[in-house]
Structure 1
Amino acid sequence: MSRLILHVDLDAFYAAVEQRDHPEWHGRPLVVGAEPGQRGVVATCSYEARRFGVHSAMPIVQAVPRLPPETVYVRPSMARYAKVSQQIMGVLETVSPVVERVSIDEAYLDVSRLTALIGPPAVIGAQVKARIWAAVGLTASVGIGPNRLIAKLASEAQKPNGLTIVPPEQVGDFLAPMPFTVLRGIGVKTAPRLERLGVKMIGDVRQLSLETLRHHLGARTGSQVYQQARGLADDRIDPDRPRQSISRETTFPEDVSDPQILEETLRWAAQEVGAIARQTQHLGRAVTLKIRFHPFETHTRSRTLKVPTADDAALFHTAWSLFAAEPWSGRPVRLIGLGISGWSATDGGVQMDLFETAAPEPGPKRDRLAATLDAIRNRFGADAIRRGRSRDLLG
């Protein structure tokens, strides 16, 4: 029997929660994140705001000029969003016993055995959407296909509030007109190589032999691209799948050379990554900086810490020092972000790095400070309190 994988993705999740809780904001552009005149970025925004070219992680100084005067700006309320997310995941578990949560607003379900109980895929998908709406009053886009890749692409096909079913026999037709860049593993080195072969769409990829792809992309990547172009991908759903890393990055709509914007964006990424790491009880030893210049020149720099951490300040300090150590100053940046990996078992405390004397000092006080800041941000919003620049490098 063919596997049936369902991917559910909440539509503009943070913004949708705010519009649900404030009906007077329906239909207006809404930005969740920093406010005009502040330093910071867009955490997410409503579809009304996206029509003006605004997107998640865009610096607020770039977003505000694009948006009309009636735009609503609100600070994130992570505790409220997390509570709604838990309600949604509970709803999904009433549909299928096999649910893999991949972020606060999306999950995969194995619904292979539900056709005899509930009905055909379209009925299952409609029921998932209806149950979410009944429970929390939010819309979700759902995609159903024979594996994770197809289900994910299907959920993106008709956003917002979409439902797309891709039976196995229609996978080829579904994929053929899509740009080849939606395939997993297509990076800054891979894409130009395919373009030189005249490839634009996934249908073009399917015209290339396995030998040709392996020759131009390497054995591993070539084989992966060959399989994905034919709709062959992982169909396993694992509720206990371990998380390999936590990262946040942003692509700027226009290349940025202002160091203050780059620094502030990296601070945002550090705060996001640190908060998720602490919530999930992950301590990481490896901090990675990612940066991209025009057109696709991408660099990563990593540092292994002596002591595992999940602290915002240590993450930012490490990533920013990696940036400062390179001759990149003044070059226009297209993308910047950071990640953490190399997990160590947690013992309930979050320790700091000792890699150099300028790094924040470790100890129980910093553990308590991180916990206190998280509690304040969860209750009053991510920008309700910030670390002072003179006392801490996160500033």
Structure 2
Amino acid sequence: MSRLIMHVDLDAFYAAIEQRDHPAWRGRPLVVGAAPGQRGVVATCSYEARRFGVHSAMPIAQAVRRLPPETLYVRPRMARYAEVSRQVMAVLETFTPLIERVSIDEAYLDVSGLTTLMGPPAVIGQRVKARIRQAVGLTASVGMGPNRLIAKLASEAQKPDGLTLVPAEQVGDFLAPMPFTVLRGVGIKTAPRLARLGVATVGDVRQLPLATLRQHLGARMGTRLHQQAQGLADDRVYPARPRKSISKETTFPEDVTDPRILQDTLRWAAQEVGSLARQGRRLGHVVTLKIRFHPFETHTRSRTLRVPTADDVALLRAAWSLFQAEPWTGRAVRLIGLGISGWPERDADGQLDLFAAQVAEHHPNPDRLAVTLEAIRGRFGPDAIQRGWRRRSVD
């Protein structure tokens, strides 16, 4: 008997919370991120804004040109979003302990054993959605299938507020018409190779012999895509699986050469990574910059910090200094992002070692400062307090 894996994805999470907390904002295009006329990017946006082609990490100036005058622009309230995320995860824990949280707004659940207690899978999915709506007043899209790949694709199939069930015997029909780019591992190198083989859909990939895929993509990738095209993928959920790194990156719709846009995008990534790290009570020693140039030239650069951190400013400064240390100015950038890794040994309260504490003893704890700022914004509004680095260069 196959497993039943559920993927729960909150719809336009940040924007939905803002519209919930401010009823007058419902039904209007809403952008969470930088304000018009300021440097910055879109953190996320409502579905009303997405209809105009706006998406996360888009430069705010570009978003403003696409959006109508009645659009609302609000600053992120990370503490508020983290609070709601904890409430949602608590709801999911009432269904099963087999939960794997993969981001602030999505999780996998193994609900294989619930059918004898709650009924058919569709009933389980509806109950999960209803309890989330009852607890936090938000909608979630739910996908259910025999493994993680199918559950994830199913949750994306009918957004927002969707529920898609893909039984094992229907996996082939579900996957066949999808573009082959939905398969995990298809990137900038693999996609052109598949296209040269004359494939456009997952169904086309399925028709290719395994030997052909291995010949053109390599043994490992060819085998992996062959299995996925057949609907075979990991069917396990990993509760509390430790993360080795936290990263955020974005691919620009058009190549970027303006260093201000690149720095603002890294500023957004640093805020996202810092917030996720603080939620997970992680402090990283290693900051990594990832950058991709036109057409597919990709580089990573890393720096090891003396004191581990989850501070937005420290992450941004390290990543930007890595960028400036290379002869990259003026080159067309397709993708940029940053991450942290290298968690040090620490106790349950996140206490640094003695020597790290001595290094930082004359400076405010940046992680506590970030948490305090997020708490103030969560209570008094997005504009109640901001870091000074929002209004000046990090140079």
Same fold (TM over 0.5): yes
Find the aligned partners of 1:339 and 1:236 in 2 and give their Cα distance. 26
Per the alignment, residue 338 of structure 2 pairs with 338
- Give the deviation of 1:14 after TM superposition: 0.8
Deviations 1:76-118 (A, max 9, x none): 1222211211111111111222111111111111110111111
- Give the deviation of 1:389 after TM superposition: 8.5
- Give the deviation of 1:310 after TM superposition: 2.5
Ranges in structure 2 where 5+ consecutive residues have no aligned partner:
none
Find the aligned partners of 2:276 and 2:362 in 1 and give their Cα distance. 20
- Bigger drift between 215-224 and 374-383 goes to 374-383
Counterparts in 2 of 1:388 and 1:317: CA distance versus 1, 3 Å? closer
Per the alignment, residue 151 of structure 1 pairs with 151
Per the alignment, residue 122 of structure 1 pairs with 122
Find the aligned partners of 1:95 and 1:248 in 2 and give their Cα distance. 30
Within the candidate set 360, 368, 372, 1:371 is matched to 368
Query: Share of identical aligned residues, percent?
Result: 73
Find the aligned partners of 2:217 and 2:302 in 1 and give their Cα distance. 25
- Give the deviation of 1:350 after TM superposition: 6.3
Per the alignment, residue 288 of structure 2 pairs with 288
- Give the deviation of 1:12 after TM superposition: 0.2
- Give the deviation of 1:153 after TM superposition: 0.5
Task: Kindly indicate whether the alpha-carbon contact (under 8 Å) linking 1:213 and 1:222 is maintained by their aligned counterparts in 2.
Answer: yes
Per the alignment, residue 357 of structure 1 pairs with none
TM-score, length basis structure 1: 0.91
The one-letter code sitting in structure 2 at the alignment partner of 1:116 is T
Task: Kindly indicate whether the alpha-carbon contact (under 8 Å) linking 1:289 and 1:338 is maintained by their aligned counterparts in 2.
Answer: yes
SS in 2 for 1:154: helix
Find the aligned partners of 2:304 and 2:366 in 1 and give their Cα distance. 24
- Give the deviation of 1:264 after TM superposition: 1.5
Task: Kindly indicate whether the alpha-carbon contact (under 8 Å) linking 1:267 and 1:394 is maintained by their aligned counterparts in 2.
Answer: no
Per the alignment, residue 53 of structure 2 pairs with 53
TM-score, length basis structure 2: 0.91
Task: Kindly indicate whether the alpha-carbon contact (under 8 Å) linking 2:43 and 2:268 is maintained by their aligned counterparts in 1.
Answer: no
Find the aligned partners of 2:364 and 2:352 in 1 and give their Cα distance. 6
Per the alignment, residue 240 of structure 2 pairs with 240
Per the alignment, residue 200 of structure 1 pairs with 200
- Give the deviation of 1:185 after TM superposition: 1.2
Counterparts in 2 of 1:362 and 1:159: CA distance versus 1, 3 Å? farther
Ranges in structure 1 where 5+ consecutive residues have no aligned partner:
355-360
Q: Tell me the C-alpha RMSD between the 2 structures.
A: 2.3
The one-letter code sitting in structure 2 at the alignment partner of 1:41 is V
- Bigger drift between 321-330 and 159-168 goes to 321-330
1:7-156 aligned within 5 A: 7-156=7-156
Counterparts in 2 of 1:362 and 1:41: CA distance versus 1, 3 Å? farther
Give the number of equivalent residue pairs: 387
Find the aligned partners of 1:373 and 1:324 in 2 and give their Cα distance. 25
Task: Kindly indicate whether the alpha-carbon contact (under 8 Å) linking 1:283 and 1:308 is maintained by their aligned counterparts in 2.
Answer: yes
SS in 1 for 2:16: helix
Deviations 1:130-189 (A, max 9, x none): 111111111110000001110000000110011100000111111111111111111221
SS in 2 for 1:114: helix
- Give the deviation of 1:39 after TM superposition: 2.1
Task: Kindly indicate whether the alpha-carbon contact (under 8 Å) linking 2:293 and 2:331 is maintained by their aligned counterparts in 1.
Answer: yes
Task: Kindly indicate whether the alpha-carbon contact (under 8 Å) linking 2:250 and 2:337 is maintained by their aligned counterparts in 1.
Answer: yes
Deviations 1:357-389 (A, max 9, x none): xxxx95134452441233113321677322448
- Bigger drift between 105-114 and 32-41 goes to 32-41
Deviations 1:330-361 (A, max 9, x none): 1222221111122222353569xx9xxxxxx9
Per the alignment, residue 385 of structure 1 pairs with 386
The one-letter code sitting in structure 2 at the alignment partner of 1:373 is A
The one-letter code sitting in structure 1 at the alignment partner of 2:246 is I
The one-letter code sitting in structure 2 at the alignment partner of 1:260 is R
- Give the deviation of 1:312 after TM superposition: 2.6
The one-letter code sitting in structure 2 at the alignment partner of 1:160 is P
- Bigger drift between 117-126 and 58-67 goes to 58-67
Find the aligned partners of 1:71 and 1:85 in 2 and give their Cα distance. 26
SS in 1 for 2:31: strand
Counterparts in 2 of 1:98 and 1:194: CA distance versus 1, 3 Å? same
Task: Tell me, yes or no, if structure 1 residue 183 matches structure 2 residue 180.
Answer: no
Counterparts in 2 of 1:287 and 1:149: CA distance versus 1, 3 Å? same
